[in-house]
Chain A
């Protein structure tokens, strides 16, 4: 049944077309049915396809479906073709299923919005683009999906377009990610120039065949692709767009800016892993980007007042873990964390959305509090997701995926002690900011009145995601806890296992113990600052240094400030001063010169015979003189 593959992107695409073309004529009941239904069907087909892939895997654990011929010129032959292997299959499954749940949630969340059909149209287009990105068999088609999801991100961030702030956030997201895309494009040109194709599997074969390990071309290609990945996945130094992206409707934040699109960079690097194996220095750069991002964003998350911004920084930080995993060659661990993160982070955003809705669009956590009793379903699901995010041992999915990354940051052949330390410190930060959010919103005194309670369309998807956030990790457990490896075993048909040639100085159990300790420390800090002694956290920001640091972290380490001055303002300044086009003044200057000459010449036309005679005589004298003396 693998030949149904094309339906998975085609169904949401059809949904987009119908909603986009006839949305204004559809009834308000029909719109969510159509919008969520198309994605639901797509998820069903992908479950079906995945099932038959598991039961009877195709030869070589990969299936290619060529749809039609696309770009053919000279030596370039690129079809529109889909490629299904364990990596794209897992990503596709997670994306379509989580998308479906979020679409159902949206049917409740957006039920009062006048532009509901536009919302579902954009969301459907997003799912179609995202699946295209994942299933693309060549890099040009991948780019089509890649830019498509970027477009939907832009459209959905600015969905409530009447407020210029939303529009600004949308444009910022589009432009900053396209900065990364520029690098990605150049990487594509380089790959095509030197390997003569853009088909991903052929590229991998040829690269392994033609480039030695450490080849400068491989390093250049790896770094250029990394540029694209950090843009899309909001990693340093291009992470600045994601916190602003929270201006979009909350289901959008859950789907695009937490669960799926922002992990596209992780997918790209995993997909192109051969390049990074040939370029250890580029792979090291991936790890460094991840490690740096996960700490910096962790600090920023600790200082946010807006619940969605805090979660956004948390997303940036968690994707940092995935990059770290990729950087140390723990490919499957990165994809594992992508999956569990998709469950619990989507849930956190959906929970935040329900809180914001019920408090009449209040997003400031310091104005919340005590919601535990008012919104019990929200509280319990949010708590489960928060525990998964922090990585509470044994019962949450996040524990297994993050623990694996932390351990392999040291134990894998490309691992380093420093990476492990950063990763454990990150666990501390994660626990601290996660429980800070939970304590501020659900505990303490109620500070706002609850206006309405979420309906079933919103709570049911959350309950399902909560279940997944708990059991989703049991597909890969550590050696001392059952040693299940269905997930990694399946993925190893597409991604190489960790090369554990390094004499690991640390056992998996030891690493997990440290992770648990860090987690408890983080929890303790959050408890101390926000439950036990709330006045203490306020006193921290009172001295000048504390205040400065707080503002510095809250403003994302001043990166926006810097970029405005380095890039944005100069371009805007030039566009403003040169709006009338300096080049044009050359030509108008020439015209002015002609006019001047004409006015000068006209002065001599006086009508007085004496002047004419004198001029003729003078001219004759000069002429004769020139002839005689030259």
Chain B
């Protein structure tokens, strides 16, 4: 039941925030903050109470479940379920949600009510994506998070917001349609094989089908998730959407929306089509590595601060893709840690750019420089998250990338070596960013205010979590471990066949 409440609270809070917007701008903010905070408290409480279960889950069972018939004649159920992977993602979503509300506090001044309505509904959609185990419901949630995101960019974005919003919409919508086709295809293939119409995830696992069909259906899912991830060469929507979105939009895009793509790969692409995914793995992994290097070099070449951070996402998510398709314990653990770490470090960098923009009204790296003397805390925080982004050991991203590469080395030595060069390439943009924004001479005589209370309240927890993830990632690793075991079990027969 908790799963439904999580979503309903957000949906309700969104509606309430819209209505309350009439009575003053503070109301929607507080309503949203309290709703996301309350949800987060619920999840953390659940996590704490189920500690033992979380870490040694009996096979194939969910930690929490909610299942009601929705359209029974077509085998559609309103079925939400949570395992360790979803738990981590849900907690991350709600935490980032709170940060998103906080970082919009001053930035958003018009249409505050409707803005928070959209924010809450995006979060609800994302929770739906992470919790749905009925493919029809999953698709529904997938689309639900898209529309409010479109509004967020198109209404509250920067100069080219409409272009960026439309681009974002077309990319995700078209790829989403492919996924819908693949879902329907799977639905009929399953009926053909068993005589049962169902959208239920656990029923569809292991559906017998020819390799050709499996490959086609797998590609349908894959493309949808690869666009969201974003995988090279499907990434061009991302820099535009990121650059033009308001700060909270960029934060949610980077920290959460991209993760739905990775989550989909882990939850659906490989388990539903293990054979096809295995055959396709070399291509996917190669594209991941290309993304790592291409994203890093392009990030180095950008002069728009936000665009630069956007390209680093392409690079980081390349590691996640690489890890997922290596499909072994180390690589998957690394991918999940990497997803969370990227949410924290890149999300924080986007907020930092937002804070800088509020002060200087520019995102052009050529206009900035020498800010350290005038805003040492802000610069230090920027340095910290840059170091996270370049994979400095001790911070979360390192754990993710290190485990991914350790795992991938078993699957493919050459690609691992090239991806390791990607870690080096991240240094290029990292030090360049610090140099251009914070170091160097203060040519334009910036005198800006340093970070203050609310901003420290945002950055502090992000820093602590990133450091915690780097030095004590055990809670994450152990929570994901049983979920991974059941995911692996569903693909094991095929993998061992291929080995033979």
Instruction: Give A contacts to B, CB under 8 Å.
Output: 20, 24, 68-76, 80, 118, 140, 143-144, 146-148, 151, 154, 158, 161-164, 167, 170-171, 174-175, 178-179, 181-182, 185-186, 188-190, 192-193, 571-572, 574-576, 578-579, 581, 583-584, 586-587
Number of A-B contacts (CB under 8 A): 137
Residues in A whose Cβ lies below 8 Å from that of B431: 154, 170-171, 174-175
A sample of 7 inter-chain contacts (CB < 8 A) reads: A118-B376, A174-B427, A175-B427, A178-B427, A185-B402, A186-B417, A572-B300
Is A182 a contact of B439 with CB atoms below 8 Å?
A: no
4 smallest beta-carbon distances between A and B, as pairs: A575-B301, A74-B329, A144-B393, A161-B439
The smallest beta-carbon distance between B392 and chain A, in angstroms, is 6
Q: Per-residue 0/1 for B214-250: is the Cβ within 8 Å of any A Cβ (1 yes, 0 no)?
A: 0000000000000000001101100100000000000
Is A186 a contact of B416 with CB atoms below 8 Å?
A: yes
**Closest chain A residue, CB of each to CB of B233:** A583
Is B432 a contact of A71 with CB atoms below 8 Å?
A: no
**Closest chain B residue, CB of each to CB of A141:** B393
Residues in B whose Cβ lies below 8 Å from that of A171: 431-432, 435
Contact check: which of A20, A147, A586 meets B392 at CB < 8 Å? A147
The smallest beta-carbon distance between B319 and chain A, in angstroms, is 13
Residues in A whose Cβ lies below 8 Å from that of B473: 70-71
Is A140 a contact of B380 with CB atoms below 8 Å?
A: no
Contact check: which of A144, A572, A583 meets B235 at CB < 8 Å? A583
Contacts A71-B473, A74-B333, A178-B427 given; does A189 touch B405 at CB 8 Å: yes
Is B333 a contact of A162 with CB atoms below 8 Å?
A: no
The smallest beta-carbon distance between A602 and chain B, in angstroms, is 20
Is A151 a contact of B392 with CB atoms below 8 Å?
A: yes
Is B471 a contact of A70 with CB atoms below 8 Å?
A: yes
- Complex interface: stretch among B199-207, B270-278, B349-357, B418-426: B418-426
The smallest beta-carbon distance between A223 and chain B, in angstroms, is 13
Is A161 a contact of B406 with CB atoms below 8 Å?
A: no
Residues in A whose Cβ lies below 8 Å from that of B330: 73-74, 76
C-alpha spacing A148/B328, complex, angstroms:
29
The smallest beta-carbon distance between B469 and chain A, in angstroms, is 11
Using A73-B477, A162-B440 as known contacts, list a sample of 14 further A-B pairs with CB atoms less than 8 Å apart, ordered by residue number in A: A70-B473, A73-B403, A74-B330, A140-B393, A161-B370, A161-B372, A161-B438, A171-B432, A178-B424, A189-B409, A190-B409, A193-B409, A578-B298, A586-B233
C-alpha spacing A73/B372, complex, angstroms:
40
**Closest chain B residue, CB of each to CB of A179:** B424
**Closest chain A residue, CB of each to CB of B376:** A24
Residues in B whose Cβ lies below 8 Å from that of A571: 297, 300, 428
Contacts A74-B333, A147-B392 given; does A186 touch B420 at CB 8 Å: yes
C-alpha spacing A170/B333, complex, angstroms:
34
Does residue B2 face the partner (Cβ distance < 8 Å to A)? no
The smallest beta-carbon distance between B419 and chain A, in angstroms, is 10
**Closest chain A residue, CB of each to CB of B297:** A575
Does residue B410 face the partner (Cβ distance < 8 Å to A)? yes
Contact check: which of A69, A162, A163, A188 meets B474 at CB < 8 Å? A69
Is B329 a contact of A140 with CB atoms below 8 Å?
A: no
C-alpha spacing A69/B473, complex, angstroms:
9
Contact check: which of B300, B303, B380, B399 meets A20 at CB < 8 Å? B380
Contact check: which of B380, B402, B441 meets A164 at CB < 8 Å? B441
Does residue B309 face the partner (Cβ distance < 8 Å to A)? no
**Closest chain B residue, CB of each to CB of A74:** B329
**Closest chain B residue, CB of each to CB of A146:** B393
